[in-house]
Amino acid sequence: MKAYGAEFFGTFWLVLGGCGSAVISAAFPNVGIGLLGVALAFGLTVLTMAFAIGHISGCHLNPAVSIGLCVGGRFPAQKLVPYILAQVLGGIAAGGVLYLIASGKPGFDLAAGFASNGYGPHSPGGYSLNAAIVTEVVMTMMFLIVILGSTHKNAPAGFAPIAIGLCLTLIHLISIPVTNTSVNPARSTGVAVYVGGWAIQQLWLFWIAPITGALLGALVFRGIGPNRSES
């Protein structure tokens, strides 16, 4: 139960910190943090939580990561469903807190997107469905490879949170214009449920593509990495 609680609060922090930076701070007059700031915010949420709860739950914060680690032989299948539930609930709780904060500003409008992920007319750059699928699959695949490699027992000890946090930052720098960057079904769900409409209609992609990418990442690492007995 401690591990599930850690995943809940870890995912809560990821969605509140990452999506909160996008909703509240990205375009704040004169001192907005912009795309670079939002990308860094997502990376920092993972980095800080990896140090805080990595020793409790492994700090997955992401259903796709949990599934990828399971396929990669690093996580027991019997814990998969409770982890995913904790992550999704943490994301939704964070979305609720963010809504309470953001709606306190005059002129707040959920129609602006509320940091939801999307494609086509709901992509920040107007990117197509195919572009969104490729982006989410490839970015999540690379994320899993970095996670599996940096947490291997032969990797430099203590540096995995930094590598993983910076990897997520880089992923956002590449893909925010395409999909607003998901690579995490819990992150996408956490804000989409408040936006409703198109955000819910397009949510399927931000479950299927990240999970597909995570599975590919796990399979690739099993092919290029050490034998399972050395993991």
- For 167-193, write each residue's pLDDT tens digit: 999 999 999 999 999 999 999 999 999
Asked if residue 94 lies in contact with residue 13, where contact means CB atoms within 8 angstroms, the answer is: yes
10 Å CB burial of residue 143 (0-12, 13-18, 19+) is buried
**Range from 33-37, 59-63, 165-169 carrying the lowest mean pLDDT:** 33-37
**Residue 62: both structure tokens together:** 């992401």
* CATH number of residue 86's parent domain: 1.20.1080.10
pLDDT confidence of residue 158: 83
Specify if 52 maps to a domain. Answer: yes
For 194-216, b/e burial (b = at least 16 CB within 10 A) is bbeebbeebbebbbebbbbbbbb
Specify if 206 maps to a domain. Answer: yes
Range of the domain at 84: 1-224
- For the question of whether the overall pTM of this predicted structure is more than 0.75, the answer is yes
Specify if 201 maps to a domain. Answer: yes
Count: domains in the chain? 1
The residue-averaged pLDDT of 72-95 equals 96
pLDDT confidence of residue 189: 97
Specify if 173 maps to a domain. Answer: yes
Specify if 186 maps to a domain. Answer: yes
* Averaged pLDDT of the chain: 93
The residue-averaged pLDDT of 120-137 equals 97
Specify if 229 maps to a domain. Answer: no
pLDDT confidence of residue 231: 46
pLDDT tens, 91-116?
A: 999 999 999 999 999 988 898 889 99
